[in-house]
């Protein structure tokens, strides 16, 4: 079984699918899907939208263009060659453009850019390059998230499958959302990972609602697992959405992100915020090896930490942690966006059906297990397929 939530980019869907297979959760089959419980039960923040004076949404009336000196670790593409699956090769270098047709259906990613000291080489046309690195070569050679036709499409114009509360794998724990770990999720095709963090005793952890309820380890450990997978899959672009559960300052995340090695691959946008048409293509991100996009829901500060992007100035969401089977395609966060602003951003449609339970004095949203197949179905009321058709 699988629980699915969806994230959409403008006009094209970013499917946010949450692998939820054979996980042991409380039986909610006898509960109505819109169950309500006593309001006296405190909620520690988990699956409900945070409120209060500490919650804010950035309002950016202008775009800030970062100087080249601000883009530490970024590389400039001097030439790019992309051959899509039909065998047509389009080569762009400077202001000239040439094309040719091949009878072989191949995908070629080729470019000239700044490269690590351990690797040397150059390319001319479709010739080869030399390599001095002795590291193991990747086993996957299908570029652009396994879809070569995505190579010349912008990041903001591609459907990505994602995992809601990706780290939370814990059999027989009601706060768990996943049955398979992050490596299995990525191997299965998940390309967007979301989860909630909490800062406890000077350490950042991934905890669901409360670290007393479910603590799956440090953020650094989770980030390191992603780094290893990204290193071994050099033709894939991955998105990470960090939930700042305690609304702490961005500097608390610098150490775990850097120590994990993930910042090596972190994409730094040239503008704040990025408009829907400002994003690079997947091939550009792969060629520069800046192919991990890191978002944070609250308290990101891109002027201080440019590789952690503010989510809601560049993306909007449908209702969070839905308990309504109709899954309305309505904008909830950030609040009060104009239609014009909505059209300038990517968007995420949350398609994971939840039931609210009282557990240990806490109001907790758990997966509506009895309707997983319907929720993840291709058609019918409350299905993922229906939402994909309607929310576009």
Give the residue numbers annotated as catalytic, written as ranges.
164, 208
Burial 195-230 (b: 16+ CB within 10 A, else e): bbbbbeeeebbbbbbbbebbbbebbbebbbbbbebb
335 and 327 Cβ atoms separated by less than 8 Å = no
Positive or negative, the CA dihedral 298, 304, 306, 308 is negative
Q: How far is CA 206 from CA 216, 221, 246, 303, in A?
A: 6, 10, 11, 25
Tokens representing 108? 């070629």
4 and 352 Cβ atoms separated by less than 8 Å = yes
Whose CA is closest to 126, among 75, 86, 79?
79
Chain mean position to CA 133? 30
Bridging pattern class, strands 203-207 and 192-200: antiparallel
């Amino acid at each position: 079984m699988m629980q699915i939530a969806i994230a959409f980019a403008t006009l094209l869907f970013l499917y946010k699918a949450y692998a939820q297979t054979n996980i042991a959760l409380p039986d909610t089959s006898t509960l109505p899907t819109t169950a309500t419980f006593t309001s006296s039960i405190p909620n520690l923040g988990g699956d409900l939208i945070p409120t209060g004076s500490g919650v804010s949404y950035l309002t950016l009336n202008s775009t800030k263009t970062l100087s080249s000196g601000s883009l530490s670790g970024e590389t400039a593409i001097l030439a790019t060659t992309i051959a899509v699956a039909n065998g047509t090769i389009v080569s762009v270098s400077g202001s000239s453009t040439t094309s040719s047709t091949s009878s072989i259906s191949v995908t070629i990613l080729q470019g000239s850019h700044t490269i690590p000291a351990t690797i040397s080489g150059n390319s001319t046309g479709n010739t080869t390059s030399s390599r001095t690195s002795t590291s193991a070569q990747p086993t996957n050679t299908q570029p652009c998230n396994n879809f070569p036709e995505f190579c010349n499409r912008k990041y903001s114009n591609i459907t990505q499958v994602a995992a809601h509360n990706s780290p939370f794998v814990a059999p027989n724990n009601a706060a768990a959302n996943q049955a398979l770990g992050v490596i299995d999720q990525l191997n299965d095709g998940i390309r967007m990972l979301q989860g909630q963090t909490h800062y406890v005793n000077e350490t950042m952890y991934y905890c669901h609602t409360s670290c007393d309820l479910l603590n799956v380890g440090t953020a650094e450990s989770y980030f390191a697992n992603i780094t290893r997978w990204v290193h071994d899959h050099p033709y894939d672009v991955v998105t990470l959405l960090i939930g700042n559960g305690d609304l702490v300052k961005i500097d608390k995340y610098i150490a775990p992100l850097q120590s994990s090695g993930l910042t090596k691959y972190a994409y730094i946008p040239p503008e704040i915020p990025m408009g829907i048409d400002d994003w690079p293509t997947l091939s550009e991100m792969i060629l520069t090896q800046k192919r991990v996009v890191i978002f944070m829901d609250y308290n990101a500060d891109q002027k201080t930490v440019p590789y952690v992007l503010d989510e809601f100035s560049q993306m909007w969401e449908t209702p969070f942690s839905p308990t309504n089977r109709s899954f309305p395609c309505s904008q909830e966060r950030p609040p009060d966006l104009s239609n014009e602003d909505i059209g300038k951003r990517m968007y995420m449609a949350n398609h994971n059906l939840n039931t609210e339970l009282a557990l240990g004095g806490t109001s907790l949203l758990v997966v509506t297990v009895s309707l997983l197949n319907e929720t993840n179905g291709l058609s019918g009321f409350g299905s993922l397929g229906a939402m994909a058709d309607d929310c576009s």
